[in-house]
Amino acid sequence: MMARRLLAIAAATGRVGYVFFIGKHLSDWRVSEKAAKSPITAAGEAQKWINELHPDIMVTEKPGPRSRKDGKTLELNAALARTAAQNYLLDVSAERKPERSNKYDEAKALSDRYPEMSAWLPKKRRFYDNEPRNIVLFEALMLAEIILSGNDPELLDDRA
């Protein structure tokens, strides 16, 4: 069996980010402001990423009760999930359940596990600052971790 190809996409205010894994190896990541302009552009960008990366599995966020995601971000998530379904991908909508007190501590823990992401690790913001652009990459990485840490050996086979 070949290694599964996993694309995890997260949407935030003003940006959409993805991380891409082959098996359990982080292969690619990107942040796009263009994809956050509307659900239509989000779907278009996701389609380009799907055509370029050829994933088997696509993970999007299912906001939980503690989520602060607003209407536009929820619409972006829905458009991303529809795009996965239209491409006959295994579409997983996962709820992020952080293990740390905030997303910056979570991002630091993830950058320790994936050192290639450490250059994109944002500094903790002050309460009056906008959220850092790159935090969406770590939100996508948190979504990917839900699948990567699962116990289903068929879902992700490390053999290439």
pLDDT for the residue 43: 97
114 vs 98, more confident: 114
CATH number, domain at 16? 3.30.420.10
- For residue 159, is pLDDT > 60? no
Look up the pTM and report it. Answer: 0.85
In this structure, is residue 158 part of a structural domain? Answer: no
> How many separate domains does the chain show?
1
Q: Are 155 and 1 in contact (CB under 8 A)?
A: no
User: Is 50 exceeded by the pLDDT of residue 158?
Assistant: no
Chain-wide mean pLDDT for the chain?
84
* pLDDT at residue 129 in the model: 59
The whole-number pLDDT of residue 117 equals 92
User: SS3 letters for the chain?
Assistant: CCCCEEEEEEEECCEEEEEEEECCEEEEEEEECHHHCCHHHHHHHHHHHHHHHCCCEEEEECCCCCCCCCHHHHHHHHHHHHHHHHCCCEEEEECCCCCCCCHHHHHHHHHHHCHHHHHHCCCCCCCCCCCCCCHHHHHHHHHHHHHHCCCCCCCCCCCC
- What are the C-alpha distances in Å from 130 to residues 40, 51, 75, 95, 101? 25, 32, 21, 24, 19
Write down the pLDDT at residue 160: 39
- Decide if pLDDT at 153 tops 60: no
In a domain, 156, yes or no: no
- Would you say residue 153 lies in a domain? no
Strands 15-22, 5-12: pairing kind: antiparallel
Percentage of the chain modeled with pLDDT above 90? 54
Of 19-28, 52-61, 148-157, minimum mean pLDDT range: 148-157
| Full residue range of the structural domain in which residue 116 is found | 5-148
Note whether residue 67 is domain-resident: yes
pLDDT in tens, 6-23: 999 999 889 999 999 999
Contacts of 145 (CB under 8 A, 6+ apart): 110
